[in-house]
Structure 1
Amino acid sequence: MPITRRLTLLALAAALAGCATTSSNVATVGAYRDTIDLAGRLSVNYQKDGKQESMTGAFDWVQRPGSVDLTLANPLGQTMATIQVRPQSATLTQAGHAPLSEANIDTLTQRTLGWPLPVSGLRDWLQGYAVDAQGQRFAASPAKNEVSTQDGWRLRFVEWQDPNAAKPLPRVIHAERSAVGDIQDLSIRIVIDPAGQE
């Protein structure tokens, strides 16, 4: 798989995505947490150079105050790449390739993919939060599950881990953008695994 395609999947996974497993302390408390561990799967569809592209993958997302570590695997479970995001730097590493680093993840993914990976957004999205187009804090719920973000994403929180919780955690998230650099009609589906499962 070409490096650009692999990096695109990685970026989208961190995205989003990603599909995720919430740690038990996050699953039982609905408030936003700086410390979470997520794992799961995602699927990505987009157009580039007039061609329709689609990918699937799995990832592990480890979030701590001021940092994110992301591992992206292909459908066979083989690690494709890792990303480390720290306050002063972001590093992407692939097997057989020298690590790539920049001052931040947006600069790194802009350099390698042609568009920035919204890691700061994903820190919120994976817990059911976002910053809306007016710059206001948005807390998703089964009754209020769609939002357009300040940076141009359209989010829909489709399913929930426990829809009856005081602040439900998302299980399925759809994220879309009409254009990101030379990528058109970008659509990411994130499926978050139940808590306690890999």
Structure 2
Amino acid sequence: MNSSTRSGKHIIWIKGALLLLLLQGCASTIETPLTLTEPVNWRETVAAVSAIDSWEISGKIGVRVPERIDSAVINSWKQKEAQFTIDLSSTIFGLGATRIEGNPNYISMTESGEEPVISRHPRQLIQQHIGWPLPIEQLRYWVKGIPAPVQSPDDKVEELKFDSQGQLSQLVQNGWQVNYSKYTPSRSVSLPGKVVLRQQQVKITVIINDWQLN
């Protein structure tokens, strides 16, 4: 084999190696595709997560609407079945702390130093008081990474997408798109650390720092 042949093969080998490295580099930046196929254990996961009806989280919430951007610290969100107590420190409700208590049929909002505002229509009160919608009936399920139970035609699950680990990555239900990430194991299940809700021009981001299951 003459030197020119060896040189030509050497150049081809180098080009091939560079191409392989380039392809590997591109592959590392490509997002893992989602799938519509339910994992084989999905129903069991929903049942296990649904059984967790008493829990507490802390973290942050951010809201983006066309008119403004709001944020708050979730000092504590305690949920026991349908009953919730949420303590916030935020600019959403003005200066000072705010406590929101209630269930899907009743809500009480108390700002520091003020008399509580009470309503039998939680969704309407939240919309009027803070200026953006919050799906309070479904949120206690969505924040755990599962669809809300279907109780009316509006509650229908339109879409479920899963990541390569078989974890729920995207849910579309009741006119909201909910995206999940940063799952962490907690007892026998994995629970999301980031939940993003979108509806039209509203984007609500919930960052969960800690899950406590009772």
The superposition leaves residues 21-44 of structure 1 with CA deviations (integer Å, 9 ceiling, x where unpaired) of: xxxxxxxx9522211111111222
Compared with structure 1, are the counterparts of its residues 135 and 112 closer, same or farther at alpha carbon in structure 2 (3 Å cutoff)? same
In structure 2, the residue matched to 1:153 is 176
CA contact (8 A) 2:104 2:136 kept: no
Residue in 2 that maps onto 1:187: 203
Equivalent-residue separation in structure 1 for 2:160 and 2:59 (angstroms): 22
Contact 1:156 1:173 survives alignment (8 Å): yes
Q: 1:170 aligned to 2:186?
A: no
Give the equivalent residue in structure 1 for 2:20: none
For residues 124 and 130 of structure 2, the distance between their equivalents in structure 1, rounded to whole angstroms, comes to 10
**CA–CA distance in structure 2, aligned partners of residues 166 and 146 of structure 1:** 22
SS of residue paired to 2:193: strand
1:39-188 equivalence runs, <5 A: 39-48=58-67, 53-59=68-74, 60-74=76-90, 79-86=96-103, 89-113=106-130, 116-131=133-148, 135-136=156-157, 142=163, 143=166, 144-150=168-174, 152-162=175-185, 167-178=189-200, 185-188=201-204
Deviation digits for residues 78-100 of structure 1, max 9, x if unmatched? 85311110465211111232211
State the secondary structure of the residue aligned to 2:126: helix
Amino acid at match of 1:169: L
Q: Distance in 1 between matches of 2:69 and 2:57?
A: 23
- Give the superposition deviation at 1:65: 2.3
The Cα RMSD (Å) is: 3.1
CA distance in 2, matches of 1:87, 1:146: 24
Q: Distance in 1 between matches of 2:106 and 2:84?
A: 11
Is contact 2:58-2:211 (8 Å) kept? no
Q: Give 1:146 shift.
A: 0.7
Give TM-score scaled by structure 1 length. Answer: 0.65
- For normalisation by structure 2, the TM-score amounts to 0.60
2:102–2:108 Cα contact (<8 Å) kept: yes
> Greater RCO between the two (CA within 8 Å, min separation 6)?
1
- Long gaps (5+) in structure 1: 1-28, 179-184
1:19 corresponds to which residue?
A: none
C-alpha change, 1:137 and 1:127, in structure 2 (3 Å) is farther
Assess, with a 3 A threshold, how the Cα gap between structure 1 residues 141 and 170 changes in structure 2: closer, same or farther.
farther
**C-alpha distance 176-195 of structure 1, shift in aligned 2 (>3 A):** same
Q: How many residues align structurally?
A: 154
d(CA) in 2 for partners of 1:109, 1:195:
25
Q: Secondary structure at the match of 1:109?
A: helix
Instruction: Specify the structure having the higher radius of gyration (Cα).
Output: 2
Task: Identify, as 1 or 2, the structure richer in helix.
Answer: 2
Residue ranges of structure 2 left out of the alignment (5+ in a row): 1-46
